[in-house]
A = this chain, B = another copy of it.
């Protein structure tokens, strides 16, 4: 099947002047959700799919903002005519999470009560808070029920939250490389990333000048994250023991191995596009994530969800390993949901859900069309 790109798209903004109550008991006095849409909402308003992004994602899932853009949106290979999220069939929505720095309200936004940016006065948020903001977004679009929610990693957390607490608003769900609760090792990596940022003297308790952010701390945090997203095998294949210059070592404390320059480059690019406080708030929301909180079991937490569900994991993903997906599958067997589970084989590690579109497209496409 030939597929097509979605072309030029623009980010839109949903602005609420109503307060948003948060899980912590605090309240956001007003909030904005940045979002993009691809395809057309049908007359019945029942063909919408909400894509949910991971830690470093944003609303720009597909297409280009400008014809000269170097890269399309983060899930472009999955969105468009003939692709999994087929814009000839579906109205695809993607919004930036609350706490983010790509247009939705977060620590870089203006605090209306103080007439300055929120910085570390921003309240701690949760995955449930992110989803509550998304519910208001789809309300504003006149959508009563989504055909699907779909997301990987932290995007999958949000999808599971929709399943657990907004089951009546969703018809099907697609989970990629995710978990129903954050595990200790994943929390630990986030903790260390936050420590790197908060120990950077430029962090200044969150009140850094936006022109002089704690870029060294964020760089180290990103490097840690990056290694957890790749498999041991793929790292070894790409970098092995190779030197940047020639085949013999220079015996220097400076950059020597290709993996060193690669990580340095990744960190630099990340600093260009991400805010350090957002990184703190979003990773903390991830660490609090446990959909079973307040329930006797995961099956209890998901009791309201009896809809078709596609669960995909990757055999080389050690950050959210297959065992985490299997817990969700087992719980859904208890609720009586119609679950399809596939562990896909890929050397790409956790990042596979962003990369392995050839593997994912036919499976996800078939699932979504079958339950149309």
Interface of A, secondary structure class, is: helix
Q: Which of B124, B185, B253 contacts A235 (CB 8 A)?
A: B185
Residue of B nearest to A192 (CB): B223
Complex contact B192–A23 (CB within 8 A): no
Task: Give me 29 A-to-B residue pairs in the complex whose CB atoms sit less than 8 angstroms apart, sorted by A's number.
Answer: A23-B251, A24-B249, A126-B251, A183-B232, A183-B235, A183-B236, A184-B236, A184-B238, A185-B227, A185-B235, A185-B236, A187-B241, A187-B259, A188-B227, A191-B259, A192-B263, A195-B220, A195-B223, A195-B263, A195-B267, A198-B253, A199-B200, A199-B216, A200-B216, A220-B220, A249-B288, A256-B284, A257-B287, A318-B318
Give the residues in chain B near A288, CB-CB below 8 Å.
249, 251
Residues of A within 8 A of B (CB): 23-26, 120, 123-124, 126, 181-185, 187-189, 191-192, 194-196, 198-201, 206, 216-217, 219-220, 223-224, 227, 232, 235-236, 238-241, 249, 251-253, 256-257, 259-260, 263-264, 267, 280-281, 284, 287-288, 290, 318
Give the residues in chain B near A224, CB-CB below 8 Å.
192, 224
Residue of B nearest to A202 (CB): B201
CB distance from A258 to the nearest CB of B (A): 9
Which of A23, A183, A188 counts the most chain B CB atoms within 10 A? A188
- Could you tell me the distance between the alpha carbons of A318 and B227 in the complex, rounded to whole angstroms? 14
Complex contact B287–A253 (CB within 8 A): no
Q: Which 5 A-B pairs have the closest CB atoms?
A: A24-B251, A199-B216, A124-B251, A184-B235, A184-B239
